[in-house]
Amino acid sequence: MANTVFDNLNGKKLIFGLVHLLPMPGTPLYQEGNIEKMTAKAIADCKALKNAGADGGLIQSVDVYYPLTDDTDYARVATISMIAGRVREEVGDDFKIGIQLMINCITPSLAACKATNADFTRCTALAVSADNPMGHVEADPLKVAEYRNKIHAQNVGMISEISGYHVTGEYNKKKIQSAASTSMRLGANAIEIMHKDFEMNERLIKDVKEMGDIPVILGGGTTVENCKERLRYADGALVGTAFEGGKWGGPIIESIVADYVKNVRELEREMGV
């Protein structure tokens, strides 16, 4: 099995910024000029993340209208691949790049990762079908596994979201643990959870950790002020609005990222990393 960015962390906390794009070709809200604008934004955002010491960025489509199946328009795949390729040229190989075509286009995202030497993708429904605000998403792990093998993308890490913004539902420990173990058995390299309530967020992390040495990535809810507390038992975080100065979809602000990274690295030292 090829190594991924989520292997052998040894206490290190991964910090990934969310790089929000504009509507892409092949989607209803696309406008001429979006490609140039979002390419420039992605490069600037990832440079800000790298300069501030973050580990990487997840380049994420923001199209408002999303397919609920593991499929998408060719133009979206081509566009996000071009953008990720440009980012890679600017930031180098040591900066970790993720690609996610929303909301659950896993195989197209894997293809884009393979084509651009990106490091990971995020899966809304890898092993367990899920209801979310955009509708019901049906998992198809066999399709994902077969395609991942076909294009030799085992080194592209997969984060499986099992509870958070895009996967909703009442808390149930057995279901959380089942979703985590099933995800890992079917090819995930890390589990994503998120809850706005601190105690529930911590409970979800510990539920997953009871199942073994499984990397847990927080899918939101962290800020400069609370990151040390929230990341104590987790292995990393995807950070969106907090890095954008509270303006979702805005530019990533380097000084905020630097303060966040400083606090997380301090936490690592406190924990003996």
Q: pLDDT tens-digit profile of 55-84?
A: 999 999 999 999 999 999 999 999 999 999
Residue 116 dihedral angles phi and psi, to the nearest 5°: -115, 5
Q: Is pLDDT above 80 for 216?
A: yes
Q: Is pLDDT above 90 for 273?
A: no
- Residue 189 three-state SS: coil
Q: Is pLDDT above 80 for 51?
A: yes
| Residues 70 and 31 sit within 8 Å (Cβ to Cβ) | no
Alpha helices in 54-172 (DSSP H): 74-91, 106-116, 141-150
Entry pTM: 0.97
Q: Is pLDDT above 80 for 34?
A: yes
**Residue 132 pLDDT class (50, 70, 90 cuts):** confident
